[in-house]
Chain A
Amino acid sequence: MRAGNIRLEEVTLAFGSGRGAVIALDKLSFSVSAGEFVAILGPSGCGKSSLIGTIAGFQSPHAGKLLVDGQVVTEPGSDRGVVFQQPTLFPWKTVRQNIDFGLRMRGVARRERDRILDEILEEVGLTEFGHHYPTQLSGGMQQRVGLARVLVNRPRVMLMDEPFGALDAQTRLMMQELLLDVWNEYRMTILFVTHDIDEAVFLASRVAVLTRRPGRLKTVIDVPIPRPRKLDVLVSPEFMRLKKTCLALVREETLDALGRPPHPDHPRDAHREAQHQEHDPLVATSGVEAS
């Protein structure tokens, strides 16, 4: 049975070691249930992408536990599809060959693959572009191929790392609506990283706000806006209220990241001092919890 529960237990992720070590995620714990659409919001450089990479299996957590449907994640796999910020299509494959890749890897029969390809190309509106190469497509079209390429694998979890960040505003809105349609149809778990508050609130059922680096969970906000959501949601009072809340939270973290004067009574600033003295962020931060 398809599921897609994600569970993080005190996941810590660090890059490098010793003095040069950078902690991307610090004892991050939270759960996403099957079929949920959760947006991850946070200031730039807070470890959002690292979180996606860890769940995808590109790197293992330094400490803590990461489970997808009760199984420890050890390597990348097609059950966890990833849509990257850049479309990351294979430039040497046509649109059809790009989407076909996952199907071939799974050993789907030729005839069945052709049928699936026709279907998905229509769904993402690229029927006429099947034999084009990625460089012949616009950014929005490329990202639709990136989405289709993951969808044909019917992943339990779809990890999206600022997938629409590089698109112009108009195209981004279209892609957001497309994504909601897709999710409505497939009902996989979606973890959607973004720094765009509008996008997070419009798409997700819950918005998880991360702190500045090292990334911890600051808070989780429920988005009770009913579905299906259409573009007019973007001007509803409910949307505005939620956006305001998120804006305040993110602003707090961004100001911190930009080096707001330290306040000795603030637990985070105390921790920053400790980190400075110990020269070993891994040791310094363990056990220190943010506010």
Chain B
Amino acid sequence: MNTVADIPLTSDADERPPVARRGAWRGVAGLRRLAVRLASLLLFLLLWQAASDNKFHFVINFTFVPPPTAVAAAAVDFVESPKAPHHVLNSIRRVLVGFGLAALVAIPLGLVIGRSRLVEDIVMTPLEIMRPIPGVAWIPLAILMFPSAEQSMIFICLIGALFPILLSTIHGVEHLDRKLVHASQTLGAKDRHVFAEVILPGAFPSILTGLTIGMGTSWFLVVTAEMVAGRFGIGYFTWEAYTLQNYPDIVVGMLVIGLLGMTSSMLLRVLGARLMPWRRHLLLAR
């Protein structure tokens, strides 16, 4: 029998997608870029310090804005204080529970809505009415709806994450290449195989996008809810610093919130790369 093992396998190298930009900072050019970036960061901090020290006041008032040095000192105090983990862990828990419940509801629901017009017609109308309402607007009602502030804050996180995840999941299912479904059917796949092996993995990149957006919304809302209703949590800490006129702590709180949001989206990316090895080069190149 003839084989094609002797066919020269040309052109496989040049048609490959760009691999992850590993080592983007290597070499002389890389060092120069790194230097420019560090210099820019340093300049930003210097300008901030100068503005605070000189109480710059033209449209923007820097009188009460603590300089970077004061923020750094406050950050060290915060890290050493026994209350810091309490604040941070409370916020993390609220986000994780709210976000996790949202994902548990939204992903299966989105998969079914994407496949069934009937379910879409039944479920989507009330959801479409609630969708344009921003999560923050839910805060007063949520406080009334739940026996404890804790539960209402978790509910707010849930509401915020629900719609991005749901809509991305529906989008992922509906925009899946129909040919892939056809291909699996001509290979003998029945409905449940099509669902588990084609639709779910096919929608996964879009689901991950929804999770990332939902995670961002959850953080945004937990901070707001804590400012209104919390007794602990990083949002509460930040607002408390304002009311106690402890200004450097405001900026510390802001930085911690930013750090938490960044870490959680990074974790999602790592999770995505783990669950989608076929897209690893795309995910990690970001």
Contact = CB atoms under 8 A, between A and B. Distances in A.
B188 A77 contact: yes
B230 to A, nearest CB: 41
A101 B179 contact: no
Interface residues of B, number: 35
A135 B278 contact: yes
Nearest to A135: B17
Given A86-B179, A140-B11, A149 B4 contact: no
B4 A178 contact: yes
Contacts of B11: 138, 140, 168, 171
A10 to B, nearest CB: 25
Interface in B1-51: 1-7, 9, 11-12, 15-17
Nearest to B184: A101
A245 interface: no
Contact of B201 (A90, A101, A181): A90
Interface string B140-181: 000000000000000000000000000000000000010110
A153 interface: yes
Contacts, number: 107
Interface in A94-151: 101-102, 105-106, 122-125, 127, 133-141, 144, 149-150
Contacts of B16: 135-136, 138
Interface string B200-220: 011010000000000000000
Given A101-B197, A137-B12, A75 B4 contact: no
Contacts of B12: 137-138, 141
Contacts of B276: 92
Given A77-B186, A78-B187, 4 more contacts: A82-B183, A138-B9, A150-B186, A177-B4
8 closest A-B pairs by beta carbon, nearest first, are A78-B188, A105-B188, A76-B185, A102-B187, A125-B4, A92-B201, A181-B2, A138-B15
30 contacts: A53-B182, A58-B185, A75-B185, A76-B185, A77-B185, A81-B186, A82-B182, A82-B183, A86-B179, A88-B180, A90-B184, A91-B279, A92-B204, A101-B197, A102-B187, A105-B190, A122-B3, A133-B277, A133-B278, A134-B278, A135-B16, A135-B278, A136-B16, A137-B12, A139-B15, A150-B187, A168-B11, A171-B11, A174-B7, A181-B2
